[in-house]
Amino acid sequence: MVTRQKAREAVRIGGKEIGRVLITGASAGIGAELAREFARHGHRLTLVARRREALAALAAELEREHQVDVQVIAQDLAKPGGPAAAVKAAQAGGEEIGILVNNAGVIDVGRFADAQPEKLIGLVDLNVRTMTEMTSRLLPGMVARGVGRVLNVSSLSAFQPVPTMAAYAASKAYVLSLTEALSEELRGTGVKVTALCPGFTETPMISEIQAGSAAVRGLPKQFLSDPSDVAAQGYRALMSGQTVVVPGLPNQLTAAWAQVTPRWVTRYIAGVATRRTV
């Protein structure tokens, strides 16, 4: 763990100091862009991921560019005890975590029956169990202080079943459902929970999706979201207390279509498309 000195005033919400921002999966992709977005607005950061070198490089960039205090914790959150160890390390200096960003996640592309059980279990452990445990450990303190934010990075796939990404889409549906339920449970507490649901985004994860899907491989580049734009929209939605944000008009139309179309139609169309491309 590397701790650096505070250089800017604490960010406040409703007159109350919000505390540090803890971002999981912060070493690359949307997680790294979210770290940059929070740093741009002067937040003190705790970045968590497995790759210490990547985190240290990002921390140095953020401190240099934005004069913010950045703490780095190298931790595999998918392992038993990983979330608890990360939270303990983050709170070791006595500062409260006022914003939690559950971004860590993995994907599996291909037929469910062909997947290794260990890979699917690892996906559920990280995408579902880890975000649940991180939220459960940090949310009570936010409620007690009367201020806090939780940003859960879900996906456009949360709105419908996705053959060949079955476990991933199901895990993101859990993230979306939990977020919406908590947003109502927490009404009036000063704590807000937001689900960020991006579509295909130009991150390292898109390469894995493209490797398993010819349809995505042939997707024009203009249909891929910019991760910095996704992060900026997620930040604005979180700080304003919006419950669900889907970046990009095409993605918003897709999410709306999935919610008004009979489920059997949605899964049939998805099944036809994926059977032709896998």
Residue that the structure tokens 């260990």 belong to:
118
Pairing of strands 148-153, 2-3: unpaired
| φ, ψ of residue 198 in degrees (nearest 5) | -75, 155
Judge contact between 91 and 40, C-beta under 8 A: no
Judge contact between 189 and 144, C-beta under 8 A: no
Which among 168, 174, 235, 268 is annotated as catalytic?
168
Whole-number Cα distances in Å, 170 to 20, 58, 65, 155: 30, 31, 38, 10
Q: How far apart (Å, rounded) are the C-alpha atoms in residues 254 and 242? A: 19
Judge contact between 141 and 96, C-beta under 8 A: yes
DSSP label of 226:
P
235 is catalytic: no
Catalytic residues, by residue number, are 168
